[in-house]
Amino acid sequence: MNRQWLQRQRLSLAWGVVALLVFALALREGLGYWRDLQQWRVLAESVAGLRASPKLSLERLRQSAQARGIGLDEVQPEGEGWQVRGKVTQAQALQAWLQALREDGAQPLQWALAREADGLRFVVQVRP
């Protein structure tokens, strides 16, 4: 009886297996599409957050330097940015400050460093 029932229901079982495979394929494609949409949404939110960062002001520039132990002697406007002159004890401190300026949205364009008797002198051109 079991064998006769299987022979009678073979076509129905085959269509059931095909339907199950089509459902599994559609589910997999739908989940992949949903994951892609989520990634684009997260990317769009991160880009929107980047645009919202305020421009670097002269006061924030001075505070940032002071927090890292960098002495600013002179800040002159130059084109769209500033030319900053000052003193620093270690080149690594200047490098860390330039990296912090980049993270604040500024662009260090050029810089120079010279050794003197009382430490290191630097000149940096910064575009906010």
The predicted pLDDT at position 118 comes to 82
Q: Does domain 58-127 have CATH number 3.30.1360.100?
A: yes
Write the DSSP string, 76-114.
Answer: EEETTEEEEEEEES-HHHHHHHHHHHHHTT-EEEEEEEE
User: How many CA atoms, within 13 angstroms, populate the side-chain half-sphere of residue 55?
Assistant: 7
The predicted pLDDT at position 105 comes to 81
pTM over 0.85: no
Tens digit of pLDDT for each residue in 39-94? 999 988 888 777 555 677 888 888 889 988 899 999 998 888 899 999 998 889 89
Cα 86 from chain centre: 30
Share of the chain above pLDDT 90, in %: 42
pLDDT band at 30; cut points 50, 70, 90:
very high
